[in-house]
Amino acid sequence: MPEQGACTVVVGCQWGDEGKGKIVDVLAENVDIVARYQGGANAGHTVHVGDGQFVLHQIPSGILHSGRRCLLGNGVVLDVLQFFEEYDALLDRGIDIKGRVGVSYRAQLLMPYHRYLDKAVEDSAVTKIGTTGRGIGPAYEDKAGRRGVRVADLLAPERFAKRVDAAKARVCGRLEELGAGTEELDRAMDATFALGDRLLALAADVGKEISAALAGGRSVLLEGAQGTALDLDHGTYPFVTSSNTTAGAAAIGTGIGPTSITDVIGVVKAYTTRVGEGPLPSAFEPEMDEHVRKLGGEFGATTGRPRRCGWFDAVLTRYASQVNGLTGIAVTKLDVLDTLPELKIATGYRMPSGKVREFFPADTWSLSEIEPVYETLPGWQAPTTEARKLDDLPRNARSYLDRIEELTNAPVRWVSVGTQRSQIIPV
């Protein structure tokens, strides 16, 4: 019997956009299967290969390595129209993806009406979340409400149509109450129905496939979307996404047992960003915010929205280390900090009472009242983009990484100093 294969989870440890796609792309070199376990087209993974740039929303970043099997697990809410747009765009760009993509029979279908409802709810909400408008919340609501439709439902077209009609009627009723229009909805529904057979042709039993691969000694990577602070349970609720983004969800969202997971790699950006509403405790002052946003090109890959930026928040990453059970971290975009004379790291939160907390609080609202306690480190003020091994980095950059490692409580395993594969340094 071959030894059980390695199963690594890659998870975001901040508010998403940590650069997971780039890390998955590099790790995919040594695995046989890459699988997404939650989220949908709200994700936007940018991967640079040579002169080309690929923005992937639903298909795992492993697709850019030939021969890797890429799966979408049951935890995903699959936007069929968007998925085939992405699939066909990859084909057009000459990526050989035939036979390499599989979608769980148990994955929920995100229907066009979910997008309409997402936008209408957000427009009328008193407490706005700043969603990506991709229909994520309403699709997971239908899943939890047991009204959703899954890939397997396509096997019985009549029953499928009936369930969709009932769910759509319910959503249209809510849209009417909210005074929102449904122009083009029917056209999008027809286009979705027309893709049913194409989708069924890709359907797979993802849990079975991954389990068999692991039993056969092959290795698997489970790719998370968004980040720990956007997790429905463990994030800054209610300013979160509607799925569990953290490592525990990787088993549930693909259909394997948690004991199969051998490694959990947390991806942290060398500073912090957030897009959408909700508190960002270590936010920069406006001028610095603008400066770092430009240096780091911090604009959403899915929506183009500017991301708010701030200092590295070790209170959050330490919490992420605990929630995810991290076995290592990848620190991305270190080069963005190359020109800064000094760097700060938040190590605690001072409450209005004056008490300093070192743990991420459950009370989200209190995050707007706290004052971060910072530690200041000297910058390195030298370019790092040419570094190919840890020793090539300036001493102050290495000290900064050492401090991140110490405060986060997980060893640094990779550092990225640019967008190319060659700029991801193994440690």
CB-side exposure of 272: number of CA atoms within 13 Å?
26
Number of residues that bind ligand IMP (CB under 6 A): 21
Q: Which is nearer to ligand IMP, 132 or 384 (CB)?
A: 132
Q: Is residue 245 a contact point for ligand IMP (CB under 6 A)?
A: no
Asked whether the beta carbons of 416 and 423 are under 8 A apart, the reply is: yes
Q: Is residue 104 a contact point for ligand IMP (CB under 6 A)?
A: no
Q: Which is nearer to ligand IMP, 16 or 281 (CB)?
A: 16
Helix (H) or strand (E) holding 330: strand 328-332
Among 14, 132, 260, 317, binds ligand IMP (CB under 6 A): 132
Active site residue 197: no
Among 129, 175, 270, 370, binds ligand IMP (CB under 6 A): 129
Site for ligand IMP in 72-91 (CB under 6 A): none
Q: Which is nearer to ligand IMP, 134 or 218 (CB)?
A: 134
Site for ligand IMP in 32-71 (CB under 6 A): 42-44
Asked whether the beta carbons of 242 and 226 are under 8 A apart, the reply is: no
Residue 325 C-beta: closest distance to ligand IMP, Å: 22
Q: Is residue 134 a contact point for ligand IMP (CB under 6 A)?
A: yes
Q: Is residue 130 a contact point for ligand IMP (CB under 6 A)?
A: yes
Please identify the residue of the shown chain whose CB is closest to the bound ligand IMP.
Answer: 276
Site for ligand IMP in 136-165 (CB under 6 A): 136-137
Among 16, 224, 266, 281, binds ligand IMP (CB under 6 A): 16
Q: Is residue 324 a contact point for ligand IMP (CB under 6 A)?
A: no
Q: Which is nearer to ligand IMP, 69 or 269 (CB)?
A: 269
User: Does residue 58 sit in helix, strand or coil?
Assistant: coil
How many angstroms separate the CA atoms of 153 and 276, rounded? 34
Q: Which is nearer to ligand IMP, 102 or 135 (CB)?
A: 135
Q: Is residue 320 a contact point for ligand IMP (CB under 6 A)?
A: no
Which residues make Cβ contacts (< 8 Å) with residue 3, sequence separation at least 6?
A: 217
| Closest of 207, 262, 224 to residue 61, by C-alpha | 224
Q: Which is nearer to ligand IMP, 42 or 219 (CB)?
A: 42
Per-residue burial over 61-88, b if 16 or more Cβ lie within 10 Å, else e, is bbbbbeebbbbbbbbbbbbbbbbbebbe
- Active-site pick, 25, 32, 45, 57: 45
Among 220, 251, 275, 401, binds ligand IMP (CB under 6 A): 275
Active site residue 335: no
Give 373's strand partners.
348
Burial class (CB in 10 A: 0-12, 13-18, 19+), 24: buried
Residue 99 C-beta: closest distance to ligand IMP, Å: 28
Q: Where are the alpha helices (DSSP H) in 253-383?
A: 286-296, 314-324
Burial class (CB in 10 A: 0-12, 13-18, 19+), 158: exposed
| Closest of 156, 185, 146, 192 to residue 168, by C-alpha | 185
Q: What is Dmax (Cα atoms) for the chain? A: 66
Q: Is residue 106 a contact point for ligand IMP (CB under 6 A)?
A: no
The token pair that represents 77 in the structure block: 């809410």
Q: Which is nearer to ligand IMP, 81 or 225 (CB)?
A: 225
Residue 22 C-beta: closest distance to ligand IMP, Å: 14
* Of 14-22, 108-116, 324-332, 361-369: span binding ligand IMP (CB under 6 A): 14-22
Q: Which is nearer to ligand IMP, 110 or 407 (CB)?
A: 110
CA R_g for the chain: 21
| Closest of 205, 216, 212, 178 to residue 4, by C-alpha | 216
Q: Is residue 21 a contact point for ligand IMP (CB under 6 A)?
A: no
Q: Is residue 230 a contact point for ligand IMP (CB under 6 A)?
A: yes
For the CA atoms of 354, 358, 364, 368, the dihedral, rounded to the nearest 10 degrees, stands at 40
Q: Which residues are catalytic?
A: 17, 45
Binding residues (CB under 6 A) for ligand IMP: these are 15-17, 42-44, 129-132, 134, 136-137, 225-226, 230, 239, 241-242, 275-276
